Chain A
Amino acid sequence: MGNASSMLTQYDIEEVQEHCNYLFSQQEIVSLYARFCQLDRSAKGFISEDEFLSIPEFSLNPLSKRLLRMVDGLNFKDFVAFLSTFSAKASLRQKIELIFKVYDIDGKGKITFKDLLEVLQDLTGSFMSEEQREQVVTKVLEEAGYTMDCAFSLEDFIQIIDHPGLKMEVEVPID
Chain B
Amino acid sequence: MASSSVAADMELDRPNLEDYLPPDSLPQEAPRNLHLRDLLDISPVLTEAAGAIVDDSFTRCFKSNSPEPWNWNIYLFPLWCFGVVIRYGILFPLRSLTLALGWLAFFAAFFPVHFLFKGQDKLRSKIERKLVEMMCSVFVASWTGVIKYHGPRPSTRPHQVFVANHTSMIDFIILEQMTAFAVIMQKHPGWVGFIQKTILESVGCIWFNRNDLRDREVTARKLRDHVQQPDNNPLLIFPEGTCVNTQYTVMFKKGAFELGCAVCPIAIKYNKIFVDAFWNSKKQSFTMHLVRLMTSWAVVCDVWYLEPQYMREGETAIAFAERVRDMIAARAGLKKVPWDGYLKYNRPSPKHAEEK
Q: How large is the interface on B (under 10, 10 to 19, 20 to 34, 35 or more residues)?
A: 35 or more
- Nearest chain A residue, comparing its CB with the CB of B25: A164
- Residues from chain A with Cβ under 8 Å of B32 in the complex: 143-145
Kindly supply a per-residue 1/0 record for chain B positions 27-41, scoring 1 wherever the CB is within 8 Å of any chain A CB and 0 otherwise.
Answer: 001001101110111
Given known A55-B59, A59-B353, A135-B2, contact A86–B50 (CB-CB < 8 A): yes
Chain B window 13-55, contacts with chain A (Cβ cutoff 8 Å), 1 for yes, 0 for no: 1001001110000000100110111011111011111111111
Q: How far is the CB of A95 from chain B (nearest CB, A)?
A: 7
User: Which applies to chain B's interface (DSSP): helix, strand, loop or mixed?
Assistant: helix
Q: A135 and B6 in contact (CB under 8 A), knowing A60-B348, A160-B36?
A: yes
* B3 proximity list for chain A (CB < 8 A): 135-136, 139-140
A: residues with CB less than 8 A from B are 1-3, 32, 35, 38-39, 41, 52-64, 67, 71, 83, 86, 95, 98-99, 102-103, 116, 119-120, 123-128, 132, 135-137, 139-141, 143-146, 157, 160-161, 163-173
B288 an interface residue at 8 Å Cβ cutoff? no
In the assembled complex, B57 has its CB within 8 A of some CB on chain A:
yes
The answer to whether B63 and A99 have CB atoms under 8 Å apart is no
What A residues does B212 contact at CB under 8 A? none
- Selected from B2, B48, B50, the residue in CB contact (under 8 A) with A83 is B50
Best-buried of A41, A62, A116, A141 by chain B (most CB within 10 Å): A62
A144-B35, A166-B41 are known contacts. Are A61 and B49 too (CB-CB below 8 A)? Answer: yes
Residue numbers in B under 8 Å from A3 (CB-CB): 283
B214 within 8 A of A: no
A38:B63 contact, CB within 8 angstroms:
yes
With both beta carbons as reference points, the residue of chain B lying nearest to A53 in the complex is identified as B347
B198 CB–A CB distance under 8 Å:
no
Please indicate the chain A residues that have their CB under 8 angstroms from the CB of B339 in the complex: 56
Is the CB–CB distance between B66 and A56 below 8 Å?
no
CA distance A165 to B44 in the complex (A): 12
A61:B43 contact, CB within 8 angstroms: no
Closest to A96 in B: B43
Q: Within the complex, which residue of B35, B283, B356 is in contact with A140, where a contact is CB–CB below 8 Å?
A: B35
The distance from the CB of A38 to the nearest CB of chain B, in whole angstroms, is: 7
Known contacts A38-B63, A59-B347; is-contact A83 B353 (Cβ 8 Å): no
A60-B353, A83-B54 known; A143-B35 Cβ under 8 A: yes
Q: How far is the CB of A30 from chain B (nearest CB, A)?
A: 13
Distance to closest chain B CB from A5 (angstroms): 15
B33 A144 Cβ-Cβ under 8 A: yes
